[in-house]
Homo-oligomer: A and B are copies of this chain.
Amino acid sequence: MPVTVAVDAMGGDHAPDEIVRGVGILSIEAPHIQTVLVGNAARISALLVKTRHDPERISVHHADSAVRMDEKPAEALDARPDCSINVAAKLVADGLADALVSAGNTGASVLACSRNWKKIPGVRRAALAAVYPTETRRGEKDDPFSLMLDVGATLDVTAEDLVAFALMGSAYASRISKNPRPRVALLSNGSEAGKGPPEIVEAHRLLTQATELNFVGNVEGVDIPRGTADVIVCSGFVGNVVLKMLEGVSETIVRLAGYAYKERLIWRAGLMMLSGGIRRLKDLTDWEQYGGAPVLGFDKVFIKAHGRSKAPAITNACKVAAKAVQADLVREIEDGLRAFHHREAALPPEQPRA
Contacts and interface: CB of A to CB of B under 8 A. Distances in A.
A23 to B, nearest CB: 29
B241 A260 contact: no
Contacts of A225: 245, 248-249, 251-252
Q: Is the interface of A mostly helix, strand, loop or mixed?
A: helix
Contact of A251 (B222, B247, B253, B273): B222
A242 B274 CA distance: 29
A270 interface: yes
- One complex includes copies of this chain to the number of 2
A137 B173 CA distance: 41
A134 to B, nearest CB: 8
Interface residues of A, number: 49
Contact of A248 (B155, B221, B248, B281): B221
A266 interface: yes
Contacts of A249: 225, 246, 249
Interface string A262-275: 01101101111110
Nearest to A263: B277
A197 interface: yes
Nearest to A189: B240
Contacts of A156: 197
Given A152-B189, A256-B281, A264-B276, A221 B197 contact: no
A237 B156 CA distance: 13
A242 B242 contact: yes
A220 interface: yes
Contacts of A39: none
Nearest to A244: B221
A242 B221 CA distance: 6
A81 interface: no
A320 interface: no
B276 A267 contact: yes
A270 B257 CA distance: 13
B269 A237 contact: no
A73 interface: no
Contacts of A267: 273-274, 276-277
B241 A221 contact: yes
Contacts of A237: 188-189, 196-197, 238
Contacts of A71: none
A244 to B, nearest CB: 3
Interface of A: 135, 152, 155-156, 187-189, 196-197, 220-226, 234, 236-238, 240-249, 251-253, 255-256, 260, 263-264, 266-267, 269-274, 276-277, 281
12 contacts: A135-B256, A189-B237, A189-B240, A197-B237, A221-B240, A221-B243, A221-B246, A222-B248, A241-B241, A260-B274, A267-B277, A270-B271
